[in-house]
Amino acid sequence: MSVSNPTLITFVIYIAAMVLIGFMAYRSTNNLSDYILGGRSLGSVVTALSAGASDMSGWLLMGLPGAIYMSGLSESWIAIGLIVGAYLNWLFVAGRLRVQTEHNGDALTLPDYFSSRFEDKSGLLRIISAVVILVFFTIYCASGIVAGARLFESTFGMSYETALWAGAAATIAYTFVGGFLAVSWTDTVQATLMIFALLLTPIIVLLATGGVDTTFLAIEAQDPSNFDMLKNTTFIGVISLMGWGLGYFGQPHILARFMAADSVKSIAKARRISMAWMILCLGGTVAVGFFGIAYFSAHPDLAGPVTENPERVFIELAKILFNPWVAGVLLSAILAAVMSTLSCQLLVCSSALTEDFYKTFLRKSASQVELVWVGRAMVLLVALIAIAMAANPENRVLGLVSYAWAGFGAAFGPVVLISVIWKDMTRNGALAGILVGAITVIVWKHFELLGLYEIIPGFIFASLAIYIVSKLGAPTAGMLQRFEAAEADFRLNK
């Protein structure tokens, strides 16, 4: 292998620890609610950090630093958009969704919630929602497996095929065994590891390049426009990058964290912890890419791998500047980012297949033990499909992440947001919102209209469809009663 033993040993210890947490969670998993939502028992710290870790995949330590390294601060608009979107999601959706899902049939999944909230007896809302989740998340899972494979391939000199299975195996193991609690507990560890890596690395890079003043002068000497927030971009370009923030309202793996909180009272504290973590992580990510410009311009003999692939900037800085043991810990942070998101996506797919198809349409009388084992089987099934999709790295699966983010953001975002703040929303309004949002994203992406990121028109048109179609009908007395009871519960306990 092309890497020193300390890094390999660190990786093995880290993966073993994650699998051990999975077996600890196994002992607390007694029914489907435990497997899918951890029995709604997450405290504020675990809720906050698992929401953050499940959001931030490998792009946090690979994609974004690479973009900053290549283009300078103009690529940081996406970080600003994400911070604003995440804060608004915590503020308007988190607490309300927690109580609304409880008041609407103690819903365990988003399709389950939509079906109960809008009294959809036909099952159409549930089926369409579950299909959207399965299609986009299988693509998402494949992209995570590719990212993990790339990390193992470049760090340990493995073949791509071997790296593919090595990267996926540990995540599948603890998700299969421990379910939601395992995913949430490991996310908390992984979030801690990620913030440690992203705070320590830029500081060490600054010291290696001679301090703040010297570093900034070196970046300016390389290209003064690196400091220009509007470099090579337009108003539409900035709006498109900021528009990523809209996606938060519709991401099932993040919304599941809100649904699993132990109470509404935990949400406010969780919001403060999560936003502090997110701002520090994104700030560290931007700093790694930005300070990397100065380091590699001063050490051109070491810049080869980064010149070939800018997304390796964090990996190369960790290898060059740190003791191999510490580098192993820092590189484990990339694995943590990949594993935390992949595990959440596998579990959401499993939940949709188990709760929204198997239990609803095939085996209404299934026991809790049976449902938990079906959930585990579905984790394996989705993982194997995702691995098959990721087997050919030329598929460019990673490029589909922004497409999937837009798909969820436009199809589910307006439905979730409006359903928790507007009591007069109807079942047909929800259906119209999901369909218009998804179709707009697909059409807009295909024609690349105006150069605008497809989530923005998708979100706007879906919101309009929900309002117009809901106005053509009226909610039932039961829908109004449950909404008002949940809203009163939220206001009393927030």
Task: State residue 346's pLDDT score.
Answer: 79
In the DSSP assignment, the letter for residue 245 is G
Report yes or no: 333 and 196 within 8 Å, Cβ to Cβ.
yes
pLDDT at 93 over 90: yes
User: How large a percentage of the chain has pLDDT more than 90?
Assistant: 44
**Residue 464: both structure tokens together:** 């309009």
Kindly list the domain boundaries of the chain, sorted by start residue.
Answer: 5-401
pLDDT the model gives residue 347: 78
Instruction: Give the highest mean pLDDT range of 168-172, 308-312, 469-473.
Output: 469-473
Confidence band (pLDDT; 50, 70, 90) for 406? very high
* Reported confidence tier of residue 323, pLDDT bands at 50, 70, 90: confident
Give the bridge partners for 261, in sequence order.
42
Looking at per-residue pLDDT, the higher value among 222 and 356 belongs to: 222
Under DSSP, the state recorded for 211 is S
Residue 176 — pLDDT band, cuts 50, 70, 90? confident
Burial class (CB in 10 A: 0-12, 13-18, 19+), 97: buried
248-295 pLDDT per residue, tens: 999 988 898 898 888 888 999 999 999 999 999 999 999 999 999 999
The answer to whether 137 touches 57, Cβ cutoff 8 Å, is no
- 2, pLDDT greater than 50: no
Residue 4 pLDDT class (50, 70, 90 cuts) = low
Asked if the model's pLDDT at residue 489 lies above 90, the reply is yes
Query: Percentage of residues in the chain with pLDDT exceeding 70?
Result: 96
CA distance 78 to 282: 10
pLDDT at 218: 93
Longest dimension (CA), the chain: 72
d(CA 195, CA 47): 16
Position 328 pLDDT exceeds 80? yes
Angle at 320 between CA 222 and CA 149, to 5 degrees: 100
Task: Taking residues 207-218, report their average pLDDT.
Answer: 93
Residues near 118 by beta carbon (within 8 Å), at least 6 away in sequence: 125, 419, 425, 426, 427, 430, 479
Quick check: 228 pLDDT over 90? yes
Q: Which residue has the higher pLDDT, 337 or 287?
A: 287
The predicted-structure confidence for 367-376, as pLDDT tens digits, reads as follows 887 887 887 7
Residue (of 66, 67, 57) closest to 148 by Cα position? 57
Distance CA(129)–CA(352), nearest Å, equals: 9
Structure token pair of residue 193: 């590891």
- What secondary structure does DSSP assign to 96-140, as a single string? HHHHHHHHTTT--SHHHHHHHHTT-TTSHHHHHHHHHHHHHHHHH
Residue with tokens 């990058």: 241
Query: CATH for 5-401, among 3.40.50.1970, 1.20.1730.10, 1.20.5.50, 3.40.50.10440?
Result: 1.20.1730.10
Confidence class for position 399, pLDDT limits 50, 70, 90:
low
Q: What is the pLDDT of residue 39?
A: 67
Residue 1: predicted pLDDT: 43
CA atoms within 13 A on the CB side of 272: 5
pLDDT for the residue numbered 188: 84
